[in-house]
Structure 1
Amino acid sequence: MTDFLQVMFHYIQTFNISIWDVADIAIVAYVIYRILILVRRSRTAQVAKAILLLLIALALAAWLPLRVVYFVLSNLLTMGALALIVVFQPEIRRFLEQLGSSSLGDMFSREEAPPEVEAAIAQTVQAYASLSKDKVGALMVFERKVSLDDIIKTGTPLNSTVNAELLKNLFWNKAPLHDGAVIVRNGHIVGAGCVLPLSGNINLSKDLGMRHRAGIGMSENSDAVVAIVSEETGSISVAENGMLKRHLAPETLERLLRNELLPQEEVPRAAGKLSSLFKSKKGGKNDGEETHGK
């Protein structure tokens, strides 16, 4: 390792590269990486391809030269920049929220989860196992760092601990609040019957109903973890960061919720994610299936 570092410093000195140049490149690479992750989702990918084609056409027009074409394209891109900010305001906001809640910030502010969170996970899994068996639809949103006050205002505010029997009553198909989502903050139910934003991803599978699309939409617009039970099939799913993990067993649901909602000191996130995604029951139909746009 020492020899490797010496060789690296030798090359840096040879090319007259300072440590600030390395930091400069690293920052730009990180920003580009985050933008590429953002571009992968929904309509952004198609628009990004169109912008790339316009930039290539602009470069060709400047090189040939095609003065009129260059004038039109350059002005189109200038005016289009403002339009893109308006059109992609949700995506830009989400990118900034993810940047602010990245692991870099967590290094300086590690908070312990309230003891109610672990109890809430256990009660949720117990309720979801029963709801899945009876094919009763359910939609729960676990708030993390991004506040969901605006979402809570769309439903009925509550202040209750998470209880399996209460959840089963809230999601009973004749209950007044069964159509909306239950919002959980720090292990407490703070809202029920809440309306969630639908996903803007046009590539989602057609067999996903409104409950799943709302769950994915909520995960696209915040850092929340959304747990879903399908009313048609009874299958359990979890939406996070715009991704949907489907056909989960109750044990896999518990493992995933613990990995995402409890601090790293209690459950190592990297190991937990690997176990929840790749170490479910081998060969079982409830192993969990991750989908994005399919």
Structure 2
Amino acid sequence: MPLLEQVSFLSFFSLSENVHWYDYLNDVLDIVVVTYVIYKLMMIVRGTKAVQLIKGISIILVSWFLSGFFGLKTLQFLLNQVITYGLLGIIIIFQPELRRGLEHLGRTSNLFGRTSTSDEDKQRQMIEAIVSSAQYMSKRRIGALIAIERDTGLNEYVETGIRMDSHITSQLIINLFIPNTPLHDGAMIIQDGKIAAAACYLPLSESPHIDKALGTRHRAAIGVSEVTDSVTLTVSEETGAVSLAIAGRLYRELDEEALRNKLIQELVIEEKETTLSFFNKKGGDK
């Protein structure tokens, strides 16, 4: 084989090999990005009515496929109409959930699990307001129940209370839990750095391992932490003790410094580590 032809053949082979590896890396990157986006979308819709929506859509799509496979023309025609006109109905009925999802996607920092400086400052201000109000209520033995939303949505519990959408201040938090006021019963829920609602109902834990001395507030705090990733604060009306419920576990009798550090750890530092933990988990699965 002439030297020129050998060089041309080797160059073509080398180019083909490079293209092959480039395509492989491109496919891997594509899969990783899509997986991460789907993961974030799932975290956004968890705990909202959108979960039921997705289940309903899945049932309709499976029924549509089966009707076509078995030749059920009338059923397929009806399902075609549902799919055609159902999109408009979904946009109208689930407008709040869709808006919330698009807002999350529009915030680059939230999409990739990072917290900007301004967001971190707001979170620390929120924590200071919560700590200050908790200490005030603890000294005066004013009962309180505050659920702070993280990734898992708390909308279904917000809907059981009175909508507020208010900025967080220690004075407002204290006012909400003053005995014999209209909103002192039930839980206050914090979403996106604001007081979303007050006088909300939370699910009670049915765990047999909970101390019998704990009352309804603590059972509700543990209950909501078992079904969501929320951080829930309680102030005991009997003893004034301040506690945090996280992932089904109750951290009891926290002093001011311990409460502040735990909230910073869960609400500020934890969010910063979201992306790193996600990719480390994927690497560990290989």
Q: Please tell me whether the aligned partners of residues 235 and 242 of structure 2 are also in contact (alpha carbons under 8 angstroms).
A: yes
Q: Output aligned runs, 1:249-268, within 5 Å.
A: 249-251=252-254, 253-260=259-266, 262=268, 264=269
Structure 2 counterpart of 1:151: 164
Q: Do structure 1's residue 97 and structure 2's residue 106 form an aligned pair?
A: no
Aligned-partner Cα distance in 1 for 2:145–2:64: 48
Aligned-partner Cα distance in 2 for 1:11–1:249: 61
Change over 3 Å in CA distance of 1:79–1:185 after alignment to 2: closer
- In the TM superposition, what is the alpha-carbon distance from 1:95 to its structure 2 partner? 2.3
Structure 1 counterpart of 2:144: 138
Return the letter of the residue paired with 1:249.
Answer: R
Change over 3 Å in CA distance of 1:176–1:47 after alignment to 2: closer
Greater fraction of residues in helix = 2
Structure 2 counterpart of 1:32: 38
Return the letter of the residue paired with 2:77.
Answer: F
Q: Output aligned runs, 1:272-287, within 5 Å.
A: none
Return the letter of the residue paired with 2:112.
Answer: L
Which structure has the bigger radius of gyration?
2
Structure 2 counterpart of 1:290: none
Aligned length: 225
Aligned-partner Cα distance in 2 for 1:19–1:129: 57
Return the letter of the residue paired with 1:110.
Answer: T
Q: Please tell me whether the aligned partners of residues 238 and 245 of structure 1 are also in contact (alpha carbons under 8 angstroms).
A: no
Aligned-partner Cα distance in 2 for 1:75–1:48: 18
Structure 1 counterpart of 2:59: 53
Change over 3 Å in CA distance of 1:66–1:185 after alignment to 2: closer
- In the TM superposition, what is the alpha-carbon distance from 1:68 to its structure 2 partner? 2.2
5+ residue gaps in structure 1?
Answer: 1-9, 145-149, 275-294
Structure 1 counterpart of 2:136: 127
Aligned-partner Cα distance in 1 for 2:198–2:174: 20
2:76 to 63, 70, 80: 70
Q: Please tell me whether the aligned partners of residues 176 and 184 of structure 2 are also in contact (alpha carbons under 8 angstroms).
A: yes
5+ residue gaps in structure 2?
Answer: 1-15, 151-162, 207-215, 278-286
Aligned-partner Cα distance in 2 for 1:185–1:32: 21
Change over 3 Å in CA distance of 1:174–1:197 after alignment to 2: closer
Q: Please tell me whether the aligned partners of residues 39 and 45 of structure 1 are also in contact (alpha carbons under 8 angstroms).
A: yes
Instruction: Tell me the percent identity.
Output: 30
User: What is the root-mean-square deviation in Å for CA atoms of aligned residues?
Assistant: 5.3
Q: Please tell me whether the aligned partners of residues 243 and 252 of structure 2 are also in contact (alpha carbons under 8 angstroms).
A: no
- In the TM superposition, what is the alpha-carbon distance from 1:55 to its structure 2 partner? 0.9
Structure 1 counterpart of 2:117: 110
